[in-house]
């Protein structure tokens, strides 16, 4: 039932009924006796002419305006080509996409017996033919004291136990390994270094949302260089934003370009409901290319530094310091040789001496800034640090070589 019409709301246009036209049929003349004239047939009433519709009236009275130029639509062949490309990418990349399930032990309160139940699901992809699987750290992170049992399911539905090789919580990356035959492993194609990404280019996500394995969604790269707070507590920079639908269970799955090459790993979404709102984020392939080989080789990512420990940001901010306070300098470290100083312990308590305020001219206001500035560096590189002497209020610049941290 419709409610009362609001004031100012235009009435819906009602189509006019079509009237049939009367067809007059004349009698042909014939020879013979003249017949009396026949009575005129009854005339069909003719309706009055219909009033023009409201839309027609508005169109006739609307002033002519200049609009944006009309763009020719894609040809039917273009649509078919785009669809064909999407299907080919799925066929190529689906064998490299896996289903990751975390299984935990739960005690039945009635029987007091322990039983295994799935505690979380996600996606991943095959990195090499040695059985290394890449996924998100939060997909395999333990929720209790005991490490979870991890099961990896390939496209052919065969399942294998996954052993954790290593993690990088700061990038939300984890590497597993399964003992699967090489002929069952199809490593994913990775975008080569130096190939740029562009906003607007096609983005294809494959994963297992809500446990529905090997689901494909298509979108575009919506933005590049996004900064997202990661599960490791530091900002993951250069994240890819995409509108390809990403839902719970897509985490760890590949984000691909139109050539089927890995451009990112689907990680998180921006949503108030928990479902995809068209704003998803993926760890960029540049980070994956750097971190995954380090985890495979060493069991952890390689980190560099100068040999100092720092105070928590909350303490520095509490005393009004914008920078990273050096708490302690390790003896014999590059920082020690460069003359950097940690906290001075006095009778009144610890006193702050040196604060890191810049790296190669870029300001450093927190540990997050310092971590990001050194994240892509390698051991042996020489970096210029801005060091504030808090007691004197003077800043000096010191060049210090980086070392690999234990």
Q: What's the Cα-to-Cα distance from 42 to each of 19, 21, 35, 45, 381, rounded to whole Å?
A: 17, 14, 20, 9, 106
Render pLDDT for 94-133 as a digit per residue (tens, 0 to 9): 999 999 998 765 666 666 565 555 567 889 999 999 999 9
DSSP code per residue over 114-131: EEEEEEEEEEEEE-STT-
What confidence score (pLDDT) does residue 223 get? 93
Render pLDDT for 311-360 as a digit per residue (tens, 0 to 9): 988 888 888 888 999 999 999 999 999 999 999 988 888 899 999 999 99
Residues catalogued as catalytic: 138, 172, 251
Q: What's the Cα-to-Cα distance from 397 to each of 185, 342, 359, 375, 382, rounded to whole Å?
A: 51, 17, 9, 20, 13
Query: For residues 282 and 228, what is the distance between their CA atoms, to the nearest angstrom?
Result: 10
Q: Where in the chain is the domain with CATH 2.40.10.10?
A: 94-184, 202-297
Q: What topology is assigned to 94-184 in CATH?
A: Thrombin, subunit H (2.40.10)
What confidence score (pLDDT) does residue 20 get? 39
In 136-214, DSSP assigns E strands to 149-153, 159-168, 173-177, 202-207
* CATH tag for 304-404 (out of 3.40.50.11540, 3.40.190.80, 2.30.42.10, 2.40.50.40): 2.30.42.10
Render pLDDT for 191-215 as a digit per residue (tens, 0 to 9): 998 888 999 999 999 988 776 778 8
What confidence score (pLDDT) does residue 387 get? 95
Question: Mean of the per-residue pLDDT values for the chain?
Answer: 81
In degrees and rounded to multiples of 5, residue 60 shows phi and psi of -75, -30
Top-level class of domain 202-297: mainly beta
Per DSSP bridges, beta strands 324-329 and 349-351 are: unpaired
Q: What tokens appear for 185 in the block?
A: 């492993």
What confidence score (pLDDT) does residue 249 get? 80
Q: Where in the chain is the domain with CATH 2.30.42.10?
A: 304-404
pLDDT at 396 over 60: yes
Mean per-residue pLDDT for 205-234? 84
pLDDT at 4 over 60: no
- Tell me how far the alpha carbon of residue 21 is from its chain's centroid: 64
**What pTM was computed for the model?**
0.69
CA quadruple 300, 303, 307, 312: dihedral sign: negative
What confidence score (pLDDT) does residue 29 get? 37
How buried is 289 (Cβ within 10 angstroms: 0-12 exposed, 13-18 middle, 19+ buried)?
middle
Render pLDDT for 291-311 as a digit per residue (tens, 0 to 9): 999 999 999 988 899 999 999
Mean per-residue pLDDT for 66-92? 82
Give kind and range of the element (H or E) at residue 396: strand 394-401
């Amino acid at each position: 039932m419709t409610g009362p019409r609001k004031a100012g709301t235009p009435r819906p246009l009602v189509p006019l009924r079509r009237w049939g036209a009367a067809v007059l049929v004349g009698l042909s003349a014939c020879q013979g006796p003249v017949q009396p004239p026949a009575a005129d047939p009854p005339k069909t009433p003719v309706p009055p002419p219909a009033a023009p519709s409201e839309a027609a009236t508005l169109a006739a009275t609307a002033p002519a305006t200049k609009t944006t130029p009309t763009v020719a639509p894609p040809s039917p062949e273009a649509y078919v080509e785009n669809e064909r490309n999407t299907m080919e990418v799925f066929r190529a990349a689906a064998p490299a996409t896996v289903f990751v399930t975390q299984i935990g032990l739960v005690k039945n309160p009635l029987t007091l017996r322990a039983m295994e139940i799935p505690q979380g699901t996600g996606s991943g992809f095959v990195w090499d033919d040695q059985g290394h699987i890449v996924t998100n750290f939060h997909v395999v992170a333990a929720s209790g004291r005991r490490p979870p049992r991890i099961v990896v399911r390939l496209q052919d539905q065969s399942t294998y136990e996954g052993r954790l090789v290593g993690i990088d919580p700061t990038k939300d990356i984890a590497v597993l390994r399964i003992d699967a035959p090489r002929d069952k492993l199809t490593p994913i194609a990775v975008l080569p270094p130096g190939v740029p990404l562009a906003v607007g280019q096609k983005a294809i996500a494959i994963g297992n949302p809500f446990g529905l394995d090997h689901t494909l969604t298509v979108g575009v790269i919506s933005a590049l260089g996004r900064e997202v707070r990661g599960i490791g507590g530091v900002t993951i920079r250069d994240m890819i934003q995409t509108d390809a639908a990403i839902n719970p269970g897509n985490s760890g799955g590949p984000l691909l370009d139109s050539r089927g090459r890995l451009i990112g790993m689907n990680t998180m979404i921006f949503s108030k409901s928990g479902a995809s709102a068209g704003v998803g984020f993926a760890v960029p392939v540049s980070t994956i290319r750097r971190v995954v080989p380090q985890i495979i080789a060493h069991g952890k990512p390689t980190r560099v530094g100068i040999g100092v420990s720092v105070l928590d940001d909350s303490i520095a901010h509490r005393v009004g310091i914008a920078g990273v306070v050096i708490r302690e300098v390790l003896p014999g470290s590059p920082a020690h040789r460069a003359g950097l100083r940690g906290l001075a312990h006095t009778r009144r308590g610890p006193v702050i001496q040196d604060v890191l305020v810049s790296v190669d001219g870029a300001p450093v206001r927190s540990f997050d800034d310092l971590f990001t500035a050194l994240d892509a560096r390698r051991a042996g590189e020489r970096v210029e640090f801005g060091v504030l002497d808090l007691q004197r209020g003077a800043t000096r610049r010191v060049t210090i070589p980086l070392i690999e941290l234990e």
